[in-house]
Amino acid sequence: MTPSFVWVIPAHAETGMIERVMLKLEAMEFEFARAESDVPYLPVLDGGFKVYGKTDFEQFEGLPAADEDAAFRMRVTSAYAAAPLYIGRRGLALAVPYVSHTRFHFTEGDRKDGYVNSVYLPVGAAWQTDSGRQWGAFVMPAGYSPLSGEGDWAWSGMGGVMGRTFSGERLVWYYGLVYDHAFSDGYFLPYAGFTYQMNPSWSFSMVAPWPGVNYAPGENFFARIGVSPSGATWAVNEEDGEDEVLTSFGGWDFGLWANWRLSGALWLTVGSGVSGLRNLSISTGGDLEYEQDVDREPWVSVSLSIRPS
């Protein structure tokens, strides 16, 4: 695969709008990549499903009937799409709406199944200032439904400025500063990472929050070993005038993802691994009130995506 930004589309597909976008991207002076790679670009459209092993809790507060131990399996359905807002000679802007539905299926006790919906709307722009140097900025408001739709939504946001510099043909550096407004608290985080394309088959990405290693023996299959964040946040019903109470359940998914090209730009991904570094926390008015570590559990996932090549 050459480093030019080309979308392989089935001959019988309706290519009108997609073809116009791809032609604009090809005409840009913006460098997407320099080194040749058989690994396609990140998906511009993706929908998937992930299920986790049984999770045991002691005194699982933040859910109804928290007077006994609980065990449940978490199931997550998610989707996102990248929508171009502007494409110029040296810059572009896009929005990437993302939605997820997390269901807690209780396997022990008398609790009813619960669910949480999350919505993210990152909007960003990137532009090329010099050969091999680019800058970008983004904002990302996010909303989290109450458990099973009973109560008020919780809101947070994130924004930042980031840079990218090519160091030769294979190495790309990333750097910047991110502001994370997590409900009632806000803080700044420095950002740094890199990607390295060793050859067309092997690439390494140390870019948070999805570090990983990719291997592509050809243009129709590639595998990835890496890490991705997981979890859900929801508001707990409180009386009028009381501080907002939030429950968060999160961790990191370590695993292997296998990716097959089905047809043209359509890809199938199947993944499996272990979710670790997991915990449950409850905060009131931004102050941590309760935290419990959770054992590691296996997970499996499947997704369909559209990937430029």
Q: What is the structure's pLDDT at 6?
A: 35
Residue 5 falls within a domain, yes or no?
Answer: no
Residue 99 falls within a domain, yes or no?
Answer: yes
Residue 6 falls within a domain, yes or no?
Answer: no
Quote the tokens at residue 62.
């933040």
Q: pLDDT tens digits for the chain (309 residues)?
A: 433 333 333 434 444 666 777 788 888 889 988 889 999 988 999 999 999 998 877 654 445 444 456 788 899 999 999 999 999 999 999 999 999 999 988 887 677 888 999 999 999 999 999 999 999 999 999 999 988 777 788 889 999 999 999 999 999 999 999 999 876 678 899 999 999 999 999 999 999 888 999 999 999 999 999 999 998 888 776 655 566 778 888 899 999 999 999 998 899 999 999 999 998 888 876 677 778 888 899 999 999 999 887
Residue 1 falls within a domain, yes or no?
Answer: no
- Cβ atoms of 166 and 196 closer than 8 Å: no
- Total domains in the chain come to 1
Quote the tokens at residue 19.
């073809």
Residue 301 falls within a domain, yes or no?
Answer: yes
For 2, counting Cβ atoms within 10 Å of its Cβ (0-12 exposed, 13-18 middle, 19+ buried), the class is: exposed
Residue 24 falls within a domain, yes or no?
Answer: yes
Q: Using CA atoms, how far apart are residues 100 and 78, in angstroms rounded to an integer?
A: 4
Q: What is the structure's pLDDT at 4?
A: 36
Q: What is the structure's pLDDT at 158?
A: 95
For residue 272, the enclosing domain spans 16-306
Q: What is the structure's pLDDT at 10?
A: 42
Q: What is the structure's pLDDT at 113?
A: 85
- Cβ atoms of 102 and 76 closer than 8 Å: yes
Residue 101 falls within a domain, yes or no?
Answer: yes
Q: What is the structure's pLDDT at 262?
A: 97
C-alpha of 70 from chain center: 28
Half-sphere exposure of residue 303, counting CA atoms within 13 Å on the CB side? 24
Q: Using CA atoms, how far apart are residues 218 and 205, in angstroms rounded to an integer?
A: 19
Q: What is the structure's pLDDT at 9?
A: 37
Residue 3 falls within a domain, yes or no?
Answer: no
